[in-house]
Structure 1
Amino acid sequence: MKQAKLGAKGKLKETAVGFVLGAVGGCILGATEDPLDKIVSVMTTSSSLKPVVEEARTVGALGLGTLMGATALTTAMTSVIAGVILAAVITSVFAATGRCTGSHKHSVGLWASAGFAGAFGTTLSGVMLGSAIEWIVKKYSMVGLLWALSLFTILKPPMRFLFRILWKQGEVCCTLGSDARSLERENLEISDWQQRQRVTLQIEKRILSLEKGSSTSGMEDRTRWVTEQKEREQIERKRLKNEEAEMKQKTLHDWINTVMMKHVDFLAFSGVPMTIITMVTSGFGLFGYGNHQSVLIVLLALVSLMGYFLLQSSDFNFWMLLGCMGMFATFVIAMLTLHAGQVVVTTAMKLRVAGHNQSRETISAHMNYQSSLEAVKTAFFGAKLCQLGLGATVGGTLVRHSTGKVRVIAGAASVAGGLLVGMDVLSPVLGEGGAAGALLGVVGAAGVSVGATAAAAGRWSSWQGTLGTTVGLIIGALGMGKWHTVNIGLQLPVAYVFAMTKPF
């Protein structure tokens, strides 16, 4: 009876703790909705949308959709990877300097520093990329953006090779921590040898004294032996502690290397499929075939062909999965952009039947405007889902790596909340592009918290804990998100799927 009561109390506690953790992750996700809506409203005003509308007739609806989609998704992916790389560098420095011991204080400092560095790196790179895109569009139009995207995609594989070399050099330079461990191990071995020598000498002296017939105080011998035993135990404890720290350091270092190499490969290759379809569809537009049906046929063929070869790869990698997802997302954005223009044509035909004729120029201008509006909105929403999903992948991985679900959920939510507060102050300075990129970085940090929450939901010992975490996540996201059911309803499944993904 007593055990049943204790079991019920434990399940109730898991439910309550799970609900609180879920609410924390959900609330920070919902808190990003209003700032994102505001920046989208600013980006879709007539003055901000003018450069996009002017180029819509040049590259066509499909070209515009693929260009906006590929640019937004590439920006999101790049900023997240920048944050992951910076966090990995900070963690590697901790590991190399030997500060990744089992101490709770050092452990909290390690993950807090890595988490802050990751969120800061993601947000800062988002600001830089967003500002760069805004400058390119205003100065060189959408065609300049196409060339910039293509050049960036071409340069990423060589940058990957260079980064690998720099990372290896950094590992060589950071061997000071290992040297310190080796020196400590040598000192322990010397102390152990000296202690053994002292014991040997004492035994020899005792034997000689017995042979000579002299005797010593038993109390003195016992005191001496107790002292030597304590010293021996102390040396053994230090040795075990040193070996445990070395093993933990090596495990963490190997894990960091795996994370780094996988994410660098992801950065280098995942954007290639998106850029290829963008270059092809935009090229048709530049040669005057932007609105021709052949563009749609070529787009379908390209997406199907590249998707088939990537999925059929015998060595299927994380970057291939994300590359396929990004390519299909770009395809969807292009279809929605095309559909927005077709809706204008359909409406004009209905008005013509009703006796309200419109000129061809008016219809064309309205088509370009609606296509541009849809391209910007859907591309930004796609980038938001990409940031959220990649952040959730990081959060889920950290929880499965036994980093501590409370630490990850609360820490990521705190950092994201702090960045949101800072955005209110800095948004006038950053401009539209910089503010949009920064907010996407905040979504990535919030995604870490949401992903950790989703991963933690399945790690409770009872289904009540899982249910409480899930309910808290949904209620927190909807409540703080002002009950944007459709947006939140799309984001939560994406975050859950990515949180369950094992990238390595």
Structure 2
Amino acid sequence: MKLATRGGLSGLKQAAVGLALGAVGGCMLGATEDPVEKTLSLMTAAGPLKPLMDAVGTVGPLGLGSLVGAAALTMAMTSVMAGVILAAVVASVFAATRSCGASHRDSVGLWVSAGLAGAFGTTLSGATFGGLSEWIVQSYGMLGLLWTLSVFTVFKPPMRFLFRLLWKQGEACCSLASSLDRAREREDLETTELQQRHRVTLQIEERILTLDRGGGGGDGDGSTDPRTAWATERRQREELERRRMENEEAEMKQRTFQDWINTIVSRHVDFLAFSGIPMTVVAVITSGFGLVGFGRHQSVFIVLLALVAGIGYYLLKSPDFKYWMLVGCMGMLATFVIALLTLHAGQEALTAATKTRAAGDDLSKEAIRTRVNYQSSLEALHAAFFVSRTCQLSLGATVGGALVRRDAGEVKVIAGSALVAGTLLAGVEVLAPVLGDGGTAGALLGVVGAAGVSVGAVAAVAVRWSQWAGTVGTVAGLVVGAVGMGKWHFVNIGLQIPVAYVFAMTNPL
């Protein structure tokens, strides 16, 4: 369903409709807050935090923060992109194998199939990565996670070429099937047209013979007015011409739609292959300093700052600037911030412990070290979880905004993605005992990405209204719905919505 967002509704009606649409997206975003917070509280218990606390002494607080941040962001970006690519594959197959009418682009079946595939793919990949990360950390510690992250980042660019090769082969097969269907349709039309021409020729010959014999106004058997027969033939010719035009229009729309899908796949495969490299480089270098005994040294901070500034400058000044470069820079900056927060939390814990000891409490060095490591690990996990959740929401918002600009239908995108996200949320909560803490956390982040599609669509709709009343109503519905359903988590939601809005307005193509 499409709305006349640029006009056709009064200001009051625009505000009311915008308020309802905004509330749908906002309520879905708010509904994810409590389950995510509960899962995070389980992950910050003493048992799950022990590998992180041990890693503080190995790679230092800066190394721990950058490693946890890079791993969390890589997992979030990979799961979202996996969902987007799966949705594109389903849409491509649907477009190539279905009979395409003039309204095929707006086919409900196509958008429903692609949306379900994307949301399910994001959630499933998030659960897989989350469970795998938890197993690696519990079995091999944070150094195992570092090696896994490094190997995964190295192998992603070659996997990009393999995926493109497979995509071209699949596209060729689908195109062949579609071309055969089109050829059969054209052959049927040509056969029908030839039959009609032959029939008209016979009628004309019979009419001429009748006139030569001095017959009346009927046709060969004298039972039908020739003008009635010719009018029938004219209507049939017009019907054939209409079908021919519809098939040509549908073929052109299908080709345009397929080109759009190919562009999406190309951009997001590049994103998947390269966006994690800056974050991983920062994590590897910072962790390397920690391994050689400079985990808390001030020089690490200077090197880290110079590294982030250098990579960011090089990417942003690239003459061939791409979407993955922008998101890669933002992910690298987020990794840097997580590392700083981890270091700051440890320093605050050390300062508090020193004051307590100076006040007369008998705290051993081991107790102080444990407290510092605990606070550092806790902050690293909290910050990384929040950033990865915001990343999932933002990338989902990018998809939602693009769909609305594509005229996929505002109501379909907002309500459909919210419904899918709600269903997935209920399913994840039911399967939480089976998935474990890590798998549940990854799956919930996938649900947040699905909810982000609805939020991004709401943001795009807010911009498209022809009057300020519609824009204000939509934004108000989004904020009130998110805060109210999210149990008044003003800080979390207040930080997530502006970032999601920025990404919804970004064109990744």
Taking structure 1 as the reference length, the TM-score comes to 0.95
Deviations 1:377-413 (A, max 9, x none): 1001110000000000000000000000100000000
**Is the aligned partner of 1:31 residue 2:31?**
yes
Is 1:145–2:121 an aligned residue pair? no
Q: Distance in 2 between matches of 1:48 and 1:181?
A: 58
* Aligned mates of 2:425, 2:217 — CA distance in 1: 77
User: Which amino acid letter does the alignment assign opposite residue 150 of structure 2?
Assistant: S
Q: Partner residue of 1:3? A: none
2:154 is the counterpart of 1:154: yes
Q: What residue in structure 2 maps to residue 256 of structure 1?
A: 261
Partner of 1:4: none
Partner residue in 2 for 1:282: 287
SS at match of 2:168: helix
1:480 alignment partner in structure 2: 485
Q: Secondary structure of 2:153's partner?
A: helix
Measured against aligned partners, the alpha-carbon deviations of 1:387-446 in whole angstroms (never above 9, x if no partner) come to 000000000000000000100000000011111111221001100110000000000000
1:183 matched residue in structure 2: 184
C-alpha distance in 2, partners of 1:75/1:496?
22
Match of 2:19 in 1: 19
Identity across aligned pairs (percent)? 65
Normalization by structure 2: what TM-score? 0.94
Structure 1 position 465 matched with structure 2 position 477: no
Structure 1 residues 305 and 377 mapped into 2: Cα distance closer, same or farther (>3 Å)? Answer: same
Deviation at 1:284, TM superposition (A): 1.1
Moved more, 266-275 or 421-430: 421-430
Cα deviations by residue, 1:189-214 (Å, 9 ceiling, x for unpaired): 23223323433443355445545655
SS at match of 1:314: coil
> Structure 1 residues 482, 100: closer, same or farther in 2, change over 3 A?
farther
Contact 1:457/1:470 (<8 A) preserved = yes
Question: 2:412: which partner in 1?
Answer: 407
Q: Which amino acid aligns with 1:410?
A: A
- The alignment of Structure 1 onto Structure 2 pairs a total of residues equal to 498
Matched letter for residue 428 of structure 1: P
Alignment partner of 1:458: what SS?
helix
Contact 2:100–2:251 (CA<8 Å) still a contact in 1? Answer: no
How far residue 463 of structure 1 moved from its aligned partner, in angstroms, is: 1.4
* Pairing 1:98-497 to 2, within 5 Å after superposition: 98-102=98-102, 107-174=107-174, 175-207=176-208, 209-210=210-211, 214-217=215-218, 220-356=225-361, 358-497=363-502
Give deviations 1:322-379, integer Å, cap 9, x for gaps: 1000000000000000000111222234335434463333222211111111011100
Structure 2 CA distance for partners of 1:8 and 1:313, relative to 1, 3 Å = closer
Contact 1:88 1:256 in 2 (8 A): yes
Structure 2 runs not aligned, ≥5 long: 1-6
- Residue 185 of structure 1 and its aligned partner are, at CA, apart by 1.5
Does structure 1 retain, via aligned residues, the 8 Å contact 2:29–2:448? yes
- Tell which deviates more after alignment, 7-16 or 274-283: 7-16
Cα distance in 2, alignment partners of residues 454 and 102 from structure 1: 29
Q: Which amino acid aligns with 2:301?
A: L
Q: Is the 8 A contact 1:22 1:453 kept in 2?
A: yes
Cα distance in 1, alignment partners of residues 393 and 244 from structure 2: 44
1:61 is aligned with what amino acid? P
What does residue 4 of structure 2 align with? none
Deviation at 1:58, TM superposition (A): 0.1
- Cα RMSD (Å): 1.8
Question: Which runs of no fewer than 5 residues in structure 1 stay unpaired?
Answer: 1-6
The worse-fitting range, judged by mean Cα deviation, of 386-395 and 284-293 is 284-293
Distance 2:166 2:285 in 1: 35
DSSP-derived class of the 2:107 partner: helix
Residues 253-284 of structure 1 show CA distances to partners (whole Å, capped at 9, x for unaligned) of 11110111100000000000000011101111
The answer as to whether partners of 2:131 and 2:438 remain within 8 angstroms in 1 is yes
Which shifted more, 428-437 or 209-218?
A: 209-218
1:9–1:288 distance in 2 versus 1, CA, 3 Å: closer
Amino acid at match of 1:342: Q
Shift of 1:102: 4.1
More divergent stretch after superposition (408-417 vs 185-194): 185-194
Q: Amino acid of the residue matched to residue 344 of structure 1?
A: A
